[in-house]
Amino acid sequence: MTVAFVLDRAAAVLTLAGPHRPRAGKAMGDLCILEDASVAVSDDGRIAWVGSAHNLDVPGDPPRIDCRGKTILPAFADAHTHLVYAGARKDELEMRLAGADYEAILAAGGGILHTVEATRAAGEDALVAATLARIDRMRRAGTTTFEIKSGYGLDLATELRQLRAARRLSDEHGVRVRTTCLAAHAFPEDVRAGRRSRDAFVDEVCDTILPAVARENLADYADVFCDRGAFSVEEARRVLERARGLGLELRVHANELGPTGGAALAAELGAVTADHLLFVDDDDRTRLRAAKVTAVLLPGTSLVLGKPFADGRAFVEAGVPVAVATDSNPGSCAIESLALVLALACYGNRLSPAEAIVATTHNAACTLGLAHEVGRIEPTMAADLVVLATDDYRDLVYHAGSPLIEAVYSRGRRVDRPADETASP
């Protein structure tokens, strides 16, 4: 093993050292901080060593990058995004700011269905290019691991194209991506117009789209938008059971618009995550905890849609592991910076800064089956790191939105600046 470089003498290294499982309750605030510490990165892009700077013990004389006065933490993992899409919906943003309601826009055939039209018309290369541009901005804001959902096709060809585009981001561009088939995201136009029944579309998802996705190994997870104005609990159960039978793990859009039973369904089916969760009660939290479902909170969406924030404190106190993600999508929240959303999780969901860091790193990685790879700073883990220009991580919340992120590494390579500048560490 050769050490490529050392991030030396940081004021603080947030290692998050500890077990691979998601953190809940008091453990959600465990950052396991080392002071005056160094991190050595091997030339295969892994953490070679981490510890007190004066104990640094690595072979050879690798370049040292002076990190005095700075903080090093694991790069962020975004556990809920809809990043592969064509077009934008900025007109809808203005409509909502003028008082229109997200659900009313969707019910009138706008919203998600506008993006479906644009995405059906886009080729795979165009989808890859548009998504890479988004990912480039997100990496500069500290995110190096991405969950990406389909759901803007609502037909076989386009759902497959979205998922292939997402896979190409990892196969051809080295981005760490986990994919989710969200074919049950909305009912397509022919169902709205009454030319096809809701059941017939659910049949298509179960009998055609999911089996094709599984056959080509295009998705790691399946998801359903189980909510008011979208899929009912019974429709969602059919889709999720079928997906599970095909070997996919489950994530569920649940209880965003009303207390619709999606969270209980996620617990019943043993989903990995239930996401949004604005309208839940103590029973839901007890069920989620018992079923070991991680609550994925999306405070950017609450902010953009002018909705309440999920009660993050109640999840922590109930012992439900919490992750926080952007939900980045063309409609309900196009925010790309998980660093900013981390701050919103404090101000909106009432997480502490330490809990919000665990929620955007280790816990998020756990929901993606990547806890052995990212989310903590320990030897053999990938060198996916953020260097902050401050000695106090709480500045991410205190000075939310300020440009505190000085460097971002993915597998030991800088990913926060244009390609021609990436030669040196």
The one-character DSSP state at 331 is: S
| C-alpha separations of 340 from 9, 214, 304, 348 in Å | 26, 35, 13, 12
Window 348-377: contact mask with ligand NIG (x via CB under 6 A): ------------------------------
Applying CB under 5 A, among 284, 327, 336, 373 the residue interacting with Fe ion is 327
Window 78-107: contact mask with ligand NIG (x via CB under 6 A): ----x-------------------------
**Cα(288)–Cα(268) distance, integer angstroms:** 9
Of 27-35, 45-53, 188-196, 326-334, the window that binds Fe ion (rule: CB under 5 A) is 326-334
Q: In the bound complex, which residue of the shown chain has the CB atom lying closest to ligand NIG? A: 331
What does the angle CA 203 – CA 177 – CA 88 come to, to the nearest 5 degrees?
70
CB-nearer residue toward Fe ion: 73 or 325: 325
- Phi, psi at residue 394, to the nearest 5°? -65, -15
Applying CB under 6 A, among 111, 261, 300, 312 the residue interacting with ligand NIG is 111
**Cα(81)–Cα(52) distance, integer angstroms:** 36
The 10 Å Cβ neighbour count of residue 305 is 18
Total H helices, total E strands in the chain: 17, 16
CB-nearer residue toward Fe ion: 220 or 327: 327
Q: Is 256 in the site for Fe ion (CB under 5 A)?
A: no
CB-nearer residue toward ligand NIG: 98 or 419: 98
Which residue type, as a one-letter code, is found at position 389?
A
**Cα(282)–Cα(14) distance, integer angstroms:** 32
142 binds, among Fe ion, ligand NIG, none (CB under 5 to 8 A by kind): none
Burial of 394 (0-12, 13-18, 19+ CB in 10 A): middle
Q: Which of 246, 239, 238 is nearest to 223 (CA)?
A: 239
Q: Is 330 in the site for ligand NIG (CB under 6 A)?
A: yes
Of 52-60, 111-119, 258-266, 355-363, the window that binds ligand NIG (rule: CB under 6 A) is 111-119
Q: Is 384 in the site for Fe ion (CB under 5 A)?
A: no
**Cα(312)–Cα(306) distance, integer angstroms:** 17
Of 150-158, 189-197, 201-209, 320-328, the window that binds Fe ion (rule: CB under 5 A) is 320-328
**Contact status, residue 43 vs residue 410, Cβ threshold 8 Å:** no
Query: Residues in contact with ligand NIG, total (CB under 6 A)?
Result: 13
Query: Residues in contact with Fe ion, total (CB under 5 A)?
Result: 1
Q: Is 78 in the site for Fe ion (CB under 5 A)?
A: no
Q: Is 301 in the site for ligand NIG (CB under 6 A)?
A: yes
Applying CB under 6 A, among 225, 309, 315, 393 the residue interacting with ligand NIG is 225
**Contact status, residue 383 vs residue 47, Cβ threshold 8 Å:** yes
**Cα(89)–Cα(114) distance, integer angstroms:** 8
CB-nearer residue toward Fe ion: 327 or 355: 327
**Cα(323)–Cα(308) distance, integer angstroms:** 18
Of 46-54, 66-74, 325-333, 396-404, the window that binds ligand NIG (rule: CB under 6 A) is 325-333
Rg (CA), the chain: 21
User: How many residues in total does the chain contain?
Assistant: 425
CB-nearer residue toward ligand NIG: 65 or 224: 224
The one-character DSSP state at 308 is: P
Applying CB under 6 A, among 78, 223, 327, 384 the residue interacting with ligand NIG is 327
Q: How far is the CB of 194 from Fe ion (least distance, A)?
A: 27
* Run of H or E including 52: strand 47-52
* Chain contacts with ligand NIG (rule: CB under 6 A): 82, 111-112, 115, 225, 253, 256, 301, 327, 329-332
* Chain contacts with Fe ion (rule: CB under 5 A): 327
